Structures are given as C-alpha cells and as structure tokens.
Amino acid sequence: MDIHPQILTFGGSLIAILAITGFAKLLRLGGKPTLSNEDEARRAATEVVDGYEASEVALDTNGAGALLRDASSQIMVIKPHGNQFAGRILTSQASVLVEDGHTIISTGEARFGCVTLMLARPEPWVDAINRLNGTEDA
C-alpha cells in the first residue's frame, strides 16, 4: 500500500504542531495574565510607569485588569496585552460608561482601545474619571 507524499507531509506537520503545542502548555507559555491581588496590580503599574505608587486599587472581579490612583490623583488603567499587562495614565481625554455591571473606560487613545472591567464598586472611580474632563455624569 502506497501513501501519497502529501498525506505523509500533512501527517508529519500535524504531529509536529501537536508536539509544539504540548510543549508550550507544559512550559505554561501563552494564556492570559491575571491580577489576583492588589500587590500584583501595583507591580504591574510600576512596570508601566516607573515610580508609580498606587494608593488605591480596584481590581476587576476576574483579574482581567485594574484601576489605580496615586497620591497625586493620577488614575491608571491596566489591561492584559499578550502575556503581560499594558496601562495608561488617564487624561482629560478619558471617558467612562457603566453598562450592565461593566465599567467601560476609554483612554482617548485609539491604539490603546477601551478597557472593560467588572468592579465591585465602580461609582467612586466613575466620579474620579469624570472629574478629569469636567464631566459630571457617566
């Protein structure tokens, strides 16, 4: 019985792909990062902006991001980006919307996009973000 060379090539490629996938899982590569506590959020914020020291932290209930505020009232939003976190300090261009329990934050930067967080108490954060641009309602 002869096996067509293309079938052998396909089978070999499939085995190689499955082996690489298994190896990556074994090494715990990839996946989405999560923030399991406030210290991890503070550490991520320091990686985004060197010297940023958060005095308040609001974690997403699933660990998919956070809002942080420092002593000078600068607010930073953090979200997963690949297998790390990315963040921005919010400016007057930022806006916020609460919809169906989700807090949707726009930094005003098209390349960064919106960040959707599920916060236990979004109201104080909505007020603080609205004060950045002089808006009083979300």
Together in a domain, 43 and 24: no
One domain for residues 3 and 48? no
The whole-model pTM stands at 0.75
Same-domain pairing of 49 and 96: yes
Nearest CA-CA partner of 77 in 50, 61, 59, 51: 59
Taking the chain (138 residues) in runs of 10, the rounded mean pLDDT of each run is 87 94 82 88 94 95 94 95 90 93 93 94 94 66
Which two tokens mark 10? Answer: 């396909």
- Residues 25, 55: one domain? no
Shared domain for 95 and 113, answered yes or no, is: yes
Return the pLDDT at 121: 92
The whole-number pLDDT of residue 24 equals: 85
pLDDT at 90: 95
Residue that is written with structure tokens 């990556």 in the block: 24
| Domain count across the chain | 2
Residue 69 is predicted with a pLDDT of 96
Under DSSP, is residue 41 helix (H, G, I), strand (E, B) or coil?
Answer: helix
* Domain that includes residue 111, residue range: 38-133
Residues 50 and 14 both lie in one domain? no
Instruction: Give yes or no: residues 93 and 57 share one domain.
Output: yes
pLDDT at 136 (0 to 100): 53
Q: How far is CA 134 from CA 35, 59, 92, 95, in A?
A: 30, 25, 8, 10
Encoded tokens for 4: 């067509």
E strands within 1-138? Answer: 54-59, 66-70, 75-81, 84-89, 95-99, 102-106, 114-117
| Residue 138 confidence (pLDDT) | 47
45 and 71, same domain (yes or no)? yes
* 138 belongs to a structural domain: no
Same domain, 94 and 126: yes
Q: Nearest 5°: phi and psi at 127?
A: -60, -45
Domain shared by 42 and 89, yes or no: yes
pLDDT at 2: 83
Instruction: Examine the domain organization and report whether 66 and 122 are in the same domain.
Output: yes
User: Does residue 74 lie within any of the structural domains?
Assistant: yes
Dihedral over alpha carbons 52, 104, 130, 113 (to 10 degrees)? 60
